[in-house]
Amino acid sequence: MQARKPTTNVQPDYSITVRFGSAVLEAGHTLDEPQRSLLLRAALAEHRGMLTALAHQTDPERTAVILAEALLATPHETGPVPLTLAELTQLRQEDPS
């Protein structure tokens, strides 16, 4: 019997989700609500594509919860960097909706 390797807390690479999700939306295709939420979470984790992801959100309450989670996230060594208040303010100013 082989010994198991210890698992590490590795954060997923969200850049692919942001890249392809944004491309799908910008091409005029639609995503369902859970997919749009995942795209927003990925964009916030990557600090890229945030305006595109926000522009396609349809549930304001769900969006508020995701933004609050991103603001209150505890920074981890392997995890995403939390959203800063300055970034949130900038998103608010640049969001066309």
pLDDT band for 95, please (50, 70, 90 cuts). confident
Q: In whole numbers, what is the pLDDT of the chain averaged over residues?
A: 84
* pLDDT digit string, tens, across residues 22-49: 899 889 999 999 999 999 999 998 889 9
**55 pLDDT exceeds 80?**
yes
Domain ranges of the chain: 15-94
* Residue 56 or 2, more confident: 56
Q: Long-range contact list for 6-12, CB < 8 A, 24+ apart?
A: 8/78, 9/76, 9/78, 9/79, 10/78, 11/45, 11/76, 11/78, 11/79, 11/80
* Residue 32 or 13, more confident: 32
Could you count the other beta carbons within 10 Å of the beta carbon of residue 41? 18
CB 45 within 8 A of CB 14: yes
pTM of the full structure = 0.78
